Structure 1
Amino acid sequence: PASINLIIDISSRKRAEQALQESEKRFHELTDLLPQIIYEADADGNLIYANRIAFDRFGYTEEDFKHGLNVRQMFAQDDLERVSADFRTMIEGKGGQEHKGEYMALRKDGSTFPVTIHSSPIVVNGRITGLRGIIIDITERKRAEVAIRQMNKKLNLLSVITRHDITNQLTMLVGFLQILEMKQPDSLTNEYFQKAKTAAERISDTIRFTKEYENLGVHAPFWQDCHTLVETAAKDAQLGSVTMKNDLPAGFEVFADPLIVKVFFNLIDNALRYGGKITTIRFSAEESDGDHIVVCEDDGIGISAVEKEKIFDRGFGKNTGLGLFLAREILDITGITIRETGEEGKGARFEIMVPKGMWRMAEKGS
């Protein structure tokens, strides 16, 4: 019987396979040099690949890997449900192109450590077949955060104790000055007592300021409605016959420190104290190159050109000189700035410059 022998040249295929193997080898060598954990997992969560540092950090061996490891084995029980839900969301294509999460990882020996994970889907022929990503050990960052919190706690405690002791001594000092003032009727001595009382009042104002300032930045910034902030601040101000116009649109929010309500109060209070015979204080909003400007203006005597920047300096002014200084410090936490642009004789005009990303228009019902 006749036979036919078919010979196929597979040199090109072999070369392609060899090139692929060399490429994978270079990839593995490079990822083994990285200080972060690199991983790939299939749609069921089974690990397909992990670099060398992954085994070091999690305490597994390559032999464990060969027998099969699932990502769910590598997270603490308290975070397991959230990890599974996030993994499932990404596999189902609902998590977008990238997912970032913070979890408590679990080593083979049962010990835990905090991590941040950046993951993205593996897409083959339009279908998600798994996830790949980077796992970053944030143990040192967490320790630093705890240390900072402890330090702030101790500093705040010291501030409270010091302020309490100074306030008690100051109360005694003011009381003694009043007694001595009643026993010294001549005008020259009375002038010195008045100066001493003024100094004591300044010290008292400074102590009150330190109480407010120590809370600056303690709580995380969040989105706050500016129209509501003005309404809240106006309730605490002694407006008298002055008309308050709140033309800020409802839903206009800024991302700022919780103390921002004091900024609006200080602007209102500043106008009432130094504006002269003002009749109206108005808040409004403007837009400029993607930024938003919150405007506070009055129809008073205004501020001279030489004082426009000085009014934000600590201690400058007729009263304590702390109100506008505090306002600038509060806004600065989230990159918001403030300036005075009014014309002397025509009223003060304060502009709060809110950069893009720090403002938004909230949807109704949100």
Structure 2
Amino acid sequence: MTFYGKKKQLISLGVLLFFVIYGSFAYWYWHTNRENDAEQIRIHAEIISYDAWNLDTTGMRSYLQLVQKTEYYKEIGVIIGKNISILVDGHSSLSDIDSVLARLKIIQVRNHSAPIVYHGEIIGLIHGQKLVRDIYPLITAFFLQFFLVLTAIFIIYLSINRRLLKQQVFERTKRYHELVNLLPEMVFETDAEGTIVFANAIAINRFGLADLSTSVHNFFDLLDMKPAEKDVIDLESITSGREQEKNEYTVHASDGSSFSVLIKAAAILRNDTVTGARIVMVDITERLALEEQLNRDRKMKSIGMMAGGVAHDLNNILSGLINYPELMQHQLPEDSPLHKYIKPMKDAGLRAAEVVADLLMVARGVAAPRSVANLNDLIHEYVASPEFKNLQEQYPDFTYSLELDPHLHNISCSIIHIRKCLMNLVVNGVEAMSGIGNITLATSVEDIDILETPYGKIRKGVYSVLSVHDSGKGIPAYELEHIFEPFYSKKELGRSGTGLGLAVVWNVVQDHNGGLGVSAGESGTVFTLYFPCTKREAALPEVELSQKAYRGQGETVLIVDDELQQRDIATQFLKSFGYTPYSVSSGEEAIEFLKKQRVDLLLLDMVMGAGLNGRQTYEQVMKIHPGIKAIIISGFSESDDVKTTLQLGAGKLLNKPYTKENLAEAVYLELHR
């Protein structure tokens, strides 16, 4: 029931109780007064019995007059025998109010009589008509009771209202505390000296505050400030709303750790005087970490954009450095002394192409197909590879061990880039040990809920995990946040690569929607890579064919590329394998050519100068020759245009710079798809 409903019920109960009590009192008073009047007239009869026996009429009359005046009789008289009758009339002695009330019948007349007895013998009769003046005491009693009832109701009302107010205050206080304790921020209330008088649950837990009612904690003791700073940053400056030099502070948690917070406060004012403060403390550790990660991502993106642009131009240049020596090798006699110069030239171009591939990986735009593989198989392939053998020859004093999970799940990945990560981490570990120590390659399966690392959040899922552990001296803590930045390297210049190795690892993991972690200590450094698992089975390895198997039967191929050198190289390669090549320098020329002539295959560069790009060209060509087969060429990235072109029907993506064998295999497989 609401407060107003209780109030109405209380009033109704009070009115009913009032009339019940008053009615009971009025009836009691009336009955008692009637009995008293009857008893009183018997007393009068007894008193005048001596005068009546002596027939003293003067004495009887005087007594009756006295009774009439004092007891408000309208008339009173005595009858003795048949000869004596005395009657005293009191009309003239009534007051004006009594007269009016008598005429209005408010004051009524009550007849009383009693026998006059003398020595046991009735000698006469006293009778009278008394004015019943009960109205006066009843009115007095009414107002007195009315006042008492009102007073009682008021007291009860105040009691109920006080109880309701206490309940409301309790509920509001409880609601306030519950809401404050639900906040993720830390909330404090202090007095004018900074002593904490209230703290919510999270603040008590974070700072280990004991019972505030029995122990004293000063708010400024939580802040990591020097004594001189406390004089400057006092309570009034925090709560006054004035601009401060800094609003971010470092505080000490109960476990001894420190973290960054943002403090917002409001003054508690009484008579324009600061008597305390209400303070909200926000933990900004996660925000600072996100800002740092965002800055790192922006730096990586800007470096990647630069690297990608450089890599695109270098790929076109390297095509000539790699492909022309190939053409020369096939045209020179086997005993020509020029072979010893041409092969190193081609190998140098291939090594340069690997650096460019790293730049593209840093740009996170490398175009590479995905296939299902198992990390255990990739590790076995790597330790049996020529690259690993060369590393063992260069550093003969290092050893390696394998700790592979036999139940490891497959992953969907770019195999060439996973191999690149594995190779970079092993080389990095061997060089960190100066060639003396042990490298452990391990795999495992982990079911992760959510894992926070300094290098990003790893989402929920099942992951195949690759870890590379070297027994070197470890990476200093101040370097850990920079090791994945491109060109950041503490190794000897000219001996340890380009400084892109770990940047490639970081970008490969990001492209595979995985995560990574690094731990370093006296026992060495452990790099841990997480790749999402797949339930798909790994494909059977393709059977390698000889170059003779890739020869054509005069099939026609249209080369579309804005680089003259690229068109010339592709033309000569295709002719050497028995194909009939044509070439144009733009998408517009390709469309005009195909309007007049049909070809078996389209060799289409994705990035061209002004005019149509590769995707736009392919869309127009499909309108002329639906279902035409195509191979797309890219020296930069697996962009949205590349993905769209593959979805439209292009069969394969070939990265620049490609070798003669790469081109022959791609053309053969596409024509026979």
TM-score, length of structure 2 as denominator length: 0.21
Using structure 1 for the length normalisation, give the TM-score. 0.37
Q: Which has the higher contact order (CA 8 A, sep 6+)?
A: 1
**Structure with max Cα Rg:** 2
